[in-house]
Amino acid sequence: MSQDETGGGGPGAAPAAELPEYAERVLDVADLIPPGRVMTYGDVAEWLGDGGPRQVGRVMALYGSAVPWWRVVRADGALLPGHELRALDHYRAEGTPLREASRRADGHLPRLDMRNARWDGRGSGGGDGGPTGDQGEETHT
């Protein structure tokens, strides 16, 4: 598993104790997601064939700092509350597709462009954008 490039302190500081088997599997999937791409909590659960979005979210909250946590996201493309700016820095550095925020949006933060950022777990990150895609116009920031 890779280390959080911010030097730790991201969502879910992993304790030194041995990880539960399910947590290890979730973190292994998060580690596979290529830079510039994302998977939703539900995508990870579906890819594993076990658990659901809440279970994956719980694992990421507890242990996610040991992996690129910003690549496991909400299905609506909203940035992780409380970690928006750190995640946004990662997305911009990796070239993750984003959608411009409307002027009425709280904080004017962009959202992930799920249609283009979503990864389906195949190949090196190219392709159709994911297992289900998502609606939304493409706008890169």
pLDDT digits (tens, 9 = 90+) for 76-93: 999 998 999 999 999 999
Q: What's the pTM value of the predicted model, to 2 decimals?
A: 0.74
Pick the range with the lowest mean pLDDT from 43-47, 63-67, 99-103, 111-115: 99-103
pLDDT at 97 over 60: yes
Q: Residue 35: its pLDDT value, please?
A: 98
75 closest CA partner among 97, 42, 119, 32: 42
**109 with 132: CB under 8 angstroms?**
no
